[in-house]
Amino acid sequence: MRIAVVVTAYNRPDALAALLDGYLHQDDRNFEVIIADDGSTDEVRQVVESYARRAPFALSHLWHEDRGFRAAVMRNRGLAATGADYVIYTDADCVPPRDFVSRHRRLAEPGYFLSGNRILLSEGFTAKVLRQRLPLYDWGLSRWLGAWLRRDINRWLPMVKLPDGAFRKRSPDRWKGVKTCNLSAWRKDLIAVNGFDESYAGKWGLEDTDLVIRLLHAGIRHKSARFAAPVFHLWHREADKRGFNENQRLLDDLIASRRTYAKVGVDQYL
C-alpha cells in the first residue's frame, strides 16, 4: 500500500522543520510527503528544498498565491498530485511520533476512514521545542507524563498505545471532533466524493467536517485512531474566524441533504 502524507502549510518554517524532522525518523519509510502550501513566503520553500535533499522519501512542494484561507484548495491539489493508494492529512504545526505512518498503515481498512487526535503544547513549551529542536517524535511515556505535570501539554493519555480491535468502530457515524490535522482515507474514496469542497475557501473552518460528512453519506464509516496515532500540536494564535457563520450555513445545508459530491472539488485538478 502506497501512502502519501499531505501537509497543509502556511508560513511558520520553524514548525515545518520540526514536522519534517518527525517524518525523517519514521519507522516506516514507504511513503511520500507533499507540502500543500497555502501561499507562504519563500522561507517555507527553502525549508522543503533543504529537507528534500536528505529525506529517504519523496518530498514535494505545491504552492499558490496567498489569497486568504484556502486550505481546501491545497488539500485537493495534494490529493490530485499523488497516485498513492492511501492519503494521510495533517498540518505543518503537527509533529508526528516515530510510528505515526506505520500506525495509520496498520489501522487502514477498506470502507473506513481514520481519525486520530492531538496533544496540545503550551505556548512556552512550543517556543522551547522550536528553539532547542527537541525530538518530540522520540519521547516516551515518562517524558510526556513529566511534560503534563509541568502543564507543558494538555494531556498525555493519548500516548498510550492500544492495538486494533472492535472498539475502534464503536462510532461508525461520528463526524464531530474529526479534524484534518490527523485524518486518513483511501484515495479512491476521497476522489469518489470529489475531495474537499472549495466553497469554503477564503473563510476559516468546517471544510474538514464537510468532507467527513460526505464520506459518511457515501457509506464510508469512521474508525478511531485514538490511542494509536496522535500528533503533537504546536501552539499558535487562534485563526481569524470571520466568515465562520457562512461556512456553518453551508455545513447545515449538507447535513440536511444526502449529498456526497463536493460542489467545487478535486475533479478540476485531475
Domain boundaries, the chain: 3-269
What is the arithmetic mean of pLDDT over 50-59? 97
Give the model's pLDDT for residue 137.
95
C-alpha cell at 161: 498505545
> Distance (Å, rounded) from C-alpha 204 to C-alpha 194?
20
CB contact set of 96 (below 8 Å; sequence gap of 6+): 19, 22, 23, 26, 90, 137, 231, 232
The confidence band for 195, taking pLDDT boundaries of 50, 70 and 90, is: very high
Q: pLDDT per residue over 109-118, tens digit each?
A: 999 999 999 9
Q: What is the per-residue pLDDT for 243? A: 63
pLDDT tens-digit readout, 209-251 = 999 999 999 999 999 999 999 999 999 887 666 667 888 898 9
Identify the helix (H) or strand (E) that includes residue 100. Answer: helix 100-107
- Assigned CATH for 3-269: 3.90.550.10
What the block records as the C-alpha cell of 82 is 499523488
Q: Give residue 76's pLDDT.
A: 98
Summarised one tens digit per residue, pLDDT across range 87-98 is 999 999 999 999
Q: Which of 109, 167, 102 is nearest to 137 (CA)?
A: 102
What lies within 8 Å, CB to CB, of 98 at 6+ separation is 22, 25, 26, 27, 137, 138
Tell me the backbone φ, ψ of residue 200, rounded to 5 degrees.
Answer: -85, -5
Residue 12 and residue 10: Cα distance in Å, rounded? 6
